[in-house]
Amino acid sequence: MGVADVPGAIRLVRAGNVRALDPEPAMFDAMLRGWQDQQRSRLLATKTIVDRLSLVRRFAEFTGTYPWDWTPEDVEAYFSTRLSRGELAWSTVRGQQGSLEMFCAFITDGQYGWAAGCLEEFGRFPVQVCHDWNTAQHVAVYEGRPGRRAFTYDELQTLFDAADDRVEQIRKRGRKGVLAAWRDSVLVKQVYAYGTRRRETSMLDLPDLRHNPRAPQYGRLGALEVRYGKASRGCPPKRRTVLTVPELDWIVPVVQEWVEEVRSGFSPGRHPALWVSERRGRLGGRRLDEIFSNLREHADLPAELDLHCLRHTYITHLIEFGYPERFVQEQVGHVYAATTALYTWVSDEYRNRLIEAALHKRLEPAAGRVLPR
């Protein structure tokens, strides 16, 4: 196959009439630049590209060799070492092995010319080193951390009570930080009441508070417009509208009070962010994690519960409230219903109610039936 003028091709990255003083690292750097160009042409996110390039560099550093000398045994040694140190989750291993496999597929594809270039310059050429027999396979439906789960109702109430208590404690002591504590209390309640992800929460703006004509009693909190939903590969962030559900409409006055009375205490000026920092900027994702961790510690809740568990809890509770699966799927922005099912931990109470209803339905007709003798 001839070398084509496609993004990432060797002829577009390396000058054909120039020979490097140190050809091996020069060729490797050119390969990475070519792969970067090829991924950019596919509209992949910058973070995705950077993470993949970093992985390939770490792998090369571990092996002490360049791609045209890599072997399948190198893959086994690298990931065995990382796993023995407890550095990687199962899903992370699969993802990194997939990235390494994609890089090898890129440099061995004849249309890009890297294999031919290595053969001409070094007398050796790269091969695919990731195979079914030396990489992890996706055989389990759920590969998340076993400790991650939804809050129980008692734990959720404890968290919210602790958040409110923290506000009162700071106020009584006359210390600074009352507004920040108030913000934190409202923020975690909003995450639960609308099931938003960390980045989705961080990127909310005031105009994202929307009226719902079918629920005028909620005012501007009838719905939440999420504009920075989790993106699919090579696509912009997904958008969705999360409706306020009656079972959680207690959130409406809570957020309204924050917007109309408390938020201005941070002097945000014309900054549109719903959740502003003490420095009059937008709260970032890392800061959201810190806020939740502080509240969890104050509430003395298990360490395995994190901010994302509030989203799990929201999904679980919508199911328990009796909402159809399709509605729940649309509320949380899942493409597939199977994804929503993975996030659902219905309580024993809910399951017992289902059994009682089924028994009642089954035994009711039998009550008026005459049994044969």
Same domain, 158 and 265: yes
Could you tell me the pLDDT band of residue 345, with boundaries at 50, 70 and 90? low
Distance CA 178, CA 188 (A): 16
Same domain, 183 and 328: yes
Distance CA 64, CA 79 (A): 15
**292 part of a folded domain:** yes
Arithmetic mean of pLDDT over the chain: 88
Of the listed ranges 39-48, 124-133, 143-152, 341-350, the one predicted with least confidence: 341-350
**137 part of a folded domain:** no
Residue 311: CB atoms within 10 A of its CB come to 21
What pLDDT score does 317 carry? 93
Could you tell me the pLDDT band of residue 372, with boundaries at 50, 70 and 90? very low
CATH code at position 118: 1.10.150.130
* Structural domains counted in the chain: 2
Instruction: Kindly state the percentage of the chain with pLDDT values over 70.
Output: 86
Q: 275-284: per-residue pLDDT in tens?
A: 999 999 999 9
What pLDDT score does 175 carry? 77
Q: Sign of torsion, CA 80 82 86 92?
A: negative
User: Residue 348 above 80 pLDDT?
Assistant: no
Q: 206-256: per-residue pLDDT in tens?
A: 999 999 999 999 999 999 999 999 877 667 889 999 999 999 999 999 999
What pLDDT score does 86 carry? 77
Distance CA 60, CA 97 (A): 14
What pLDDT score does 342 carry? 65
What pLDDT score does 368 carry? 53
CB 248 within 8 A of CB 173: no
Distance CA 14, CA 64 (A): 23
51-89 per-residue burial string, b: 16 or more CB within 10 A, e: under 16 = ebbebbeebbeebeebbbbbeeebbeebbeebeeeeeee
What pLDDT score does 354 carry? 65
**96 part of a folded domain:** yes
- Over residues 339-343, the mean pLDDT reads 67
What pLDDT score does 90 carry? 77
Same domain, 206 and 352: yes
User: Residue 306 above 80 pLDDT?
Assistant: yes
Which domain, by its residues, includes 76? 10-122
What pLDDT score does 85 carry? 81
User: What's the token pair of residue 38?
Assistant: 């090829």
**372 part of a folded domain:** no
Could you tell me the pLDDT band of residue 371, with boundaries at 50, 70 and 90? very low
What's the CA dihedral at 285, 290, 293, 295 to 10 degrees? -100
Q: 85-122: per-residue pLDDT in tens?
A: 876 777 788 889 999 999 999 999 999 999 999 999 99
Same domain, 244 and 334: yes
What pLDDT score does 141 carry? 46
Same domain, 111 and 159: no
Same domain, 240 and 350: yes
CB 336 within 8 A of CB 226: no
Residue 187: CB atoms within 10 A of its CB come to 23
